[in-house]
Amino acid sequence: MASTDWLSQGTLVLASNNKGKIAEFEKMFAALNLPVNVIPQGQLNIADAVEDGLSFVENAILKARHAAKISGKPAIADDSGICVPLLGGAPGIYSARFAGAHGNDAANNEKLLQKLKPLRKAGEAVEGMFVCVLALVQHADDPLPQIFQGIWTGEILEAARGGNGFGYDPLFWLPELNVSSAELSKEEKNKISHRGQAMRLFKASLAK
């Protein structure tokens, strides 16, 4: 199958029920002006997949296959999170449920701050990176999912800053811009973020 065969299907299912992600994706897909309707899986009453993979790539593929199987349509899924080398890459794939309950941003942020507190050294920045993996499947049994990966590097703040974005955005510091991710507008964030990077690779694949 050609990599763009899914375009003829008329519909692409976005395998996410995360409101923050969906809002960002809707803006990015609108900018692509694709000849298909991109529908969040919630509109098709598709529940979240069980994410039992051990990597962002595995979980993105699991979510895409799950949505494609139930909908009978091509699907694209995002698995993303924040990785902190000082914590051995944690929270990583467990970012959304780092503190236990899925999607409790405040608790997740607080746990990250507490984990880092005893490890911080005066005058030394704590490196962090947002990771996004997009997986596109033509159908549930697609043997060749297309993978698009973006990595956004920055630093982890000692306290939250900014009211925009979601997840760990208030703790993600961009020294070159002197702002946190949560102090960027959606448009500014999408130009440089891990998700924006992955989407640009996705866009480039359409031209091949």
DSSP secondary structure string for all residues of the chain: --TTGGGGGSEEEE----HHHHHHHHHHHHHHT-SSEEEEGGGGTPPPPP---SSHHHHHHHHHHHHHHHHSS-EEEEEEEEE-GGGTT-BGGGGGGTTSSTT-HHHHHHHHHHHHGGG--TT---EEEEEEEEEEESSTT-SS-EEEEEEEEEEE-SS---SSSSTTGGGEEETTTTEEGGGS-HHHHHHHSHHHHHHHHHHHHHT-
Catalytic residue among 79, 105, 142, 169: 79
| Residue 5 annotated to the active site | no
Catalytic residue annotation: 79
